[in-house]
């Protein structure tokens, strides 16, 4: 089969990076929590992406996180990356991470320290070239922000 | 006229452009069609040479604009075999036409005793509109399931003396299934119910004859039938239009105004308040003419052969499922599909990289899509300029997408 059309596309490979596809095929932290302290279902009505986020928080630290749902590779892998990143982080750190992820997706300059902070999530950068998909990448992050920032 | 797809393609300038470095393969026709050069030229010609307001001035430009605007109404009448062009109301789109009927007819004619029948496969515009009428009047909203095709006995079980309106899609924008209106009308007549047909997906693609079908209302949009956006049509029987109150108020729709009162203008102007979309109407007339030159039978035949070919190709693909594949008869050029693993959104993005434009999402028919156990689907839809070769390109790109993602 002639795959040159796709495997030769830098943009596509940039968006569907190996890390993204790995998280899409094998999402982390999908088992639901037995007693979540916080829980939120979000969806993007335009494409049908759905995510459920559950958190356990003790002394301002994320002690448990579950992200599950159905949808496109970007929304689901982003959710999985999110879960992996925030597990055992303080809520202050999480708020920082959310801010940096948003910054990155808006194509604002971010420092090396910021990149260290977000880790593998940097792989979502490639989505910037597909403006209609940025919403997919941020679906879980917006939900997380709503959950954490709630009084 | 001999149907020659390569000749037709020459009329569509946009088909020459590249998308992501590839030739455009436009398969999103159920969302909106591309426009032939003569439609585009007619808009330019109107503004370059004839621009003036209609039904107002005594000067030459106004006369020319009015003549062209009214001539387009006649061309639309010819397209749907409407006996009197006063039955043709210009609106913004099929959605506005539906809202006009809901406001000016349904709210005045339905009560909490009445019921409306629609199908489970309606576009949101022919669903939410009637939900709202139901909420305001208290009337019952009943659903005829056509997922496995139209079943006359199901319809017989739903309809009764209290049914005032049967509002059905002529062709589902998800399933591609063409509803047999000719089986609906006789029964509706027996119960004295009015029949509204949502022709948004049928009028652009097949012969639609309002006289032969004997329907009360027909709605459709110009932009899906080679015309511009922002203009649509309501056809209604004259006696109904005569009895209906205006939808909007303002200039052009009045005959005489005093400080106390106003008299409504005659049809069709009673329903066309304010300066209308003049260039839109004129170019829609040109689009209708273009289609009539080709012949709607030929349009239907061409799309049918492409759809049959595409469906065969889809059946050869593993992991791809066509929604509504159980209905093979009376099928228009729409194929909605899902993949066992890949989300439609990812399919859409990957195909776009190959220059192939398809629709992904819920297709403005959320409850129907959900009834198939999915939240979204991909959709390829065909028109007069699509070729078998483009179907091959689609299928090859789908296989590539699978190799890439899974």
Tell me if residue B139 is catalytic.
Answer: no
Residue A14 — very low, low, confident or very high, per pLDDT cuts 50/70/90? Answer: confident
C-beta atoms of A6 and B400 within 8 A: yes
Distance from CA of A80 to the nearest CA of B (A): 16
Nearest to A133 among B349, B369, B399 (CB): B349
pLDDT above 90 covers a percentage of chain B that reads 92
Fold of B296-405: 3.90.1150
Give the pLDDT of residue B62.
95
Provide the number of structural domains found in chain A.
1
- Residue A115 pLDDT more than 70? yes
Among chain A residues, CA nearest to B354? A5
pLDDT of residue B295: 97
Catalytic residue among B364, B376, B398, B401: B364
Q: How near does any CA of chain B get to the CA of A118, in Å?
A: 24
Above 80 in pLDDT, residue B100?
Answer: yes
CATH topology for B40-293? Answer: 3.40.640
Among B151, B169, B167, smallest CA distance to B114 is for B167
- pLDDT tier at B201 (50, 70, 90 boundaries)? very high
What percent of chain B shows pLDDT beyond 70? 100
**With bands split at pLDDT 50, 70 and 90, how would you rate the model's confidence at A147?**
very high
ipTM of the complex: 0.83
**How many residues are recorded in chain A?**
151
As to burial, measured by CB atoms within 10 angstroms (0-12 exposed, 13-18 middle, 19+ buried), residue B40 is middle
Domains of chain B: which residue ranges? 40-293, 296-405
Q: Look up the CATH number of the domain holding residue A79.
A: 3.90.1010.10
Per-residue burial over A53-70, b if 16 or more Cβ lie within 10 Å, else e, is bbbbbeeebbebbbbbbb
How far apart CA A54 and CA B265 sit, in angstroms, is 61
**Residue of higher predicted confidence among B31 and B366:** B31
pLDDT of residue A9: 74
- Can you tell me the mean pLDDT for A41-54? 88
C-alpha separations of B223 from A54, A101, A129, B18, B324 in Å: 45, 40, 29, 22, 26
Using an 8 Å CB-CB cutoff, list chain A residues near B361: 46-48
Best CA proximity match to B344, nearest among B325, B308, B372? B372
pLDDT of residue B154: 98
pLDDT at B257: 93
Whether the per-residue pLDDT at A40 is higher than 60: the answer is yes
Q: Is B344 within 8 Å of A15 when comparing Cβ atoms? A: no
Q: Which residues pair with B235 in a beta bridge?
A: B88, B218
pLDDT (mean) for A44-57: 89
Does A1 score more than 50 pLDDT? Answer: no
Task: Pick B399's closest partner by Cβ from A1, A7, A136.
Answer: A1
Whether the domain at B40-293 and the domain at B296-405 fall into the same CATH topology? no
Q: Say if residues B399 and A1 touch (Cβ distance below 8 Å).
A: yes
- Least Cα separation, residue B244 to chain A (angstroms): 36
pLDDT tens across B233-263, in order? 999 999 999 999 999 999 889 999 999 999 9
Confirm whether pTM is higher than 0.90: yes
pLDDT in tens, B166-180: 999 999 999 999 999
Taking one residue from A and the other from B, the number of pairs with CB-CB distance under 8 angstroms is: 74
- What are the φ and ψ backbone dihedral angles of B370, each rounded to 5 degrees? -65, -30
Please answer yes or no on whether B375 and A11 come within 8 Å at the CB atom.
no
pLDDT at A4: 44
* Chain A residues closer than 8 Å to B405 by CB: 16, 21, 73
* Residues of chain A neighbouring B345 (CB-CB closer than 8 A): 47, 49, 71-72, 74, 133, 136
How do residues B332-374 score in pLDDT, each as one tens digit? Answer: 999 999 999 999 999 999 999 999 999 998 888 888 988 998 8
Residue A131 structural domain: 4-149
Cβ separation B345–A49 shorter than 8 A: yes
How far away is chain B from the Cα of A100, in angstroms, using its nearest Cα?
25
Partner residue facing A3 (CB), from B346, B369, B400 = B400
| B37 pLDDT above the threshold of 80 | yes
Residue A87 near residue A53 (C-beta atoms within 8 A): no
Over 60: is that where the pLDDT of A3 sits? no
Residue of chain A minimizing CA distance to B22: A5
């Amino acid at each position: 089969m002639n795959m040159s059309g796709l495997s030769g596309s830098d943009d596509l490979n940039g968006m569907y990076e190996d890390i993204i596809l790995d998280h899409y095929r094998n999402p982390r932290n999908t088992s639901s929590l037995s007693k979540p302290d916080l829980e939120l279902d979000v969806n993007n009505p335009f494409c049908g992406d759905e995510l459920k986020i559950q958190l356990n928080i003790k002394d301002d630290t994320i002690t448990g996180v579950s992200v599950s749902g159905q949808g496109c590779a970007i929304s689901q892998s982003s959710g999985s990356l999110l879960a992996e990143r925030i597990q055992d982080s303080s809520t202050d750190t999480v708020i920082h991470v959310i801010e940096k992820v948003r910054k990155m997706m808006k194509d604002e300059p971010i420092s090396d320290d910021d990149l260290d902070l977000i880790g593998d999530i940097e792989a979502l950068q490639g989505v910037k070239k597909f403006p209609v998909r940025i919403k997919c990448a941020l679906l879980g992050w917006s939900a997380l922000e709503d959950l954490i920032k709630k009084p | 006229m001999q149907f020659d797809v390569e000749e037709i393609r020459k009329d569509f300038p946009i088909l020459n452009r590249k998308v992501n470095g590839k030739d455009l393969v436009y398969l999103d026709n159920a969302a909106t069609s591309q426009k032939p050069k003569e439609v585009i030229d007619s808009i330019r010609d109107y503004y370059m040479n004839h621009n003036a307001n209609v039904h107002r001035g005594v000067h030459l430009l106004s006369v020319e604009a009015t003549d062209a605007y009214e001539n387009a109404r006649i061309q639309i009448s010819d397209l749907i075999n409407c006996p009197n062009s006063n039955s043709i109301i210009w609106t913004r789109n099929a959605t506005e036409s539906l809202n006009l009927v809901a406001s000016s007819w349904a709210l005045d004619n339905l009560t909490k005793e009445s019921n409306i029948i629609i199908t489970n496969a309606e576009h949101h515009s022919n669903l939410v509109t009637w939900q709202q009428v139901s909420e305001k009047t208290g009337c019952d909203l009943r659903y005829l399931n056509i997922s496995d095709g139209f079943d006359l006995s199901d319809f017989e079980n739903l309809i009764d003396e209290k049914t005032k309106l049967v509002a059905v899609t002529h062709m589902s924008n998800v399933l591609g299934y063409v509803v047999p209106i000719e089986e609906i009308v006789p029964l509706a007549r027996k119960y004295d119910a009015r029949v509204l047909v949502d022709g948004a997906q049928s009028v652009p693609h097949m012969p639609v004859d309002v006289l032969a079908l004997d329907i009360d209302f027909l709605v459709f949009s110009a932009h899906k039938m080679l015309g511009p956006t922002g203009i649509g049509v309501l056809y209604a029987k004259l006696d109904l239009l005569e009895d209906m109150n205006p939808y909007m108020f303002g200039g052009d729709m009045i005959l005489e105004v005093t400080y106390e009162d106003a008299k409504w203008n005659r049809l069709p102007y009673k329903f066309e308040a304010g300066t209308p979309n003049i260039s839109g109407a004129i170019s829609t007339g040109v689009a209708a003419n273009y289609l009539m030159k080709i012949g709607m039978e030929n349009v239907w035949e061409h799309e049918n052969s492409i759809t049959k070919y595409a469906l065969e190709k889809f059946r050869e693909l593993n992991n791809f499922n066509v929604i509504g594949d159980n209905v093979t008869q009376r099928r228009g050029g729409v194929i909605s599909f899902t993949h066992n693993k890949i989300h439609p959104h990812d399919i859409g993005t990957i195909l776009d990289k190959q220059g192939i434009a398809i629709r992904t999402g819920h297709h403005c028919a959320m409850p129907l899509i959900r009834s198939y156990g999915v939240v979204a689907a991909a959709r390829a839809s065909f028109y007069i300029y699509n070729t078998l070769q483009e179907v091959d390109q689609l299928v090859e790109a789908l296989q590539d997408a699978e190799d890439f993602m899974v």
